[in-house]
Amino acid sequence: MLLAHLIRTRQSGQSRADAQLDPSCFGLPVYLAYALYPPLYIAGPISSFNNFAHQIYHPDSPSLTKVCHYGLRLLGCLLALEVLTHTIYANAIAKYRLWHQLQLWGAARFSPLDLSTIGFWVLMFMWLKFLVIWRFFRLWSLADGIDAPENMTRCLCNNYDIEGFWKNWHASYNLWLVRYIYIPLGGARWRALNVWAIFTFVGLWHDLEWKLVSWAWIMCLFIGAEMAAKLLSKHRAMAPLKRNGWFRHLAAVVACSNVLALMTANMVGFVLGVDGISDYLHGIFSDVKSVCIIFAAIFSTVQVMFEMREYELHEQRRVCPVA
């Protein structure tokens, strides 16, 4: 039920964004209202101008039930964030690089499994923190009658490809980037080059910091490798392999590499920086046995994700038979 609702919500938002509006709708007053609308301007989800203007001139306010239900979901997420920050201190450990301090003091060291777990919970904290922030501002806009695109449309633990991760992380920003940067730069025809322009813009948009620019360029390298792998998998020479049951497991191995790449890039960009990531990775990969355990855990999780994607595809076909 929830998945079907999400599919319909995405469709309605896309139809508003693609709707043809009368030229009189594109005036300075509505543009200023769009640019300075507090729920979207401060830190909320980002809406395209077409989507916003369509709702101004063709209002279809969300029901009180929908707003209240969304508010309850936000409270649940806020409670989860409070429990996380008061019971798991991974973010503080990573921020002050406690493993490095313990090494200097000659105290007990973190094991590779400890370090990998810290990295996971740091990213989980980031995901939940932004989820609460963005959903608060979306709730504000819903209460005001503006249905902005939802962010965080997929859980952090339910991503195995880099492209899909960014489409579902700051999902509304992704829609904005596609409409105003990706398509004007040539779209899919220049996709490999567009990635560099877009992620550099995104890194600078976050803040003028070298670690964020480094994060952006690392992501471009990883996305380029993923694009090449996807292109290779579509080649006709791969058809016999796809019919073999082992292809799924080969894809899962590649997906594990994607997950590790995502975790590394985000730790560089938002936690450790370029100077701190080398010690962190050395601590994790210094023990072969621990690396095998980490890889096996991610591999098993990816297999579950594959099953979830098949279910989502089935639901999408059921809700949208034409698509």
Give the burial string for 243-258 (b: 16+ CB within 10 Å, else e).
Answer: eeeeeeeebbebbbbb
Q: Taking a C-beta distance cutoff of 8 angstroms, is the pair 287, 233 a contact?
A: no
Side-chain half-sphere CA neighbours of 212 within 13 A: 11
Per-residue pLDDT, averaged over 294-305, amounts to 92
Instruction: Please write down the long-range contacts of 29-38, taking CB distance under 8 Å and 24 or more positions apart.
Output: 30/56, 37/141, 37/146, 38/140
Give residue-wise pLDDT tens across range 234-248.
Answer: 877 777 777 777 888
Per-residue pLDDT, averaged over 5-21, amounts to 59
Q: Please state the domain count of the chain.
A: 1
The residue segments making up the domain with residue 103 are 2-319
Cα angle vertex 103, ends 100, 104, to 5°?
Answer: 90
3-state helix, strand, coil in the chain (%, to 5): 80, 0, 20
pLDDT confidence of residue 194: 92
Per-residue pLDDT, averaged over 97-124, amounts to 79
Confidence category of residue 83, pLDDT binned at 50, 70, 90: very high
The structure's pTM equals 0.83
Token couple for 186: 């040539």
Does residue 304 surpass a pLDDT of 90?
yes
Give residue-wise pLDDT tens across range 25-40.
Answer: 788 999 999 989 998 8
Cα angle vertex 81, ends 160, 63, to 5°?
Answer: 85
Per-residue pLDDT, averaged over 107-127, amounts to 84
State residue 154 phi and psi, 5-degree precision. -145, 145
pLDDT confidence of residue 182: 93
Q: Taking a C-beta distance cutoff of 8 angstroms, is the pair 53, 21 a contact?
A: yes
pLDDT confidence of residue 198: 93
Is 206 a residue of the active site? yes
Confidence category of residue 134, pLDDT binned at 50, 70, 90: very high
**Which entry of 86, 170, 206, 249 is annotated as an active-site residue?**
206
Mean pLDDT check: name the lowest of 60-69, 143-152, 169-178, 230-239: 230-239
Q: Taking a C-beta distance cutoff of 8 angstroms, is the pair 138, 148 a contact?
A: yes
pLDDT confidence of residue 291: 87
Confidence category of residue 105, pLDDT binned at 50, 70, 90: low
The overall average pLDDT reported for the chain is: 84
Per-residue pLDDT, averaged over 198-223, amounts to 87
**DSSP string of 186-253, one letter each residue:** TGGGGHHHHHHHHHHHHHHHH-S-HHHHHHHHHHHHHHHHHHHHHHHHTSGGGHHHHHSTHHHHHHHH
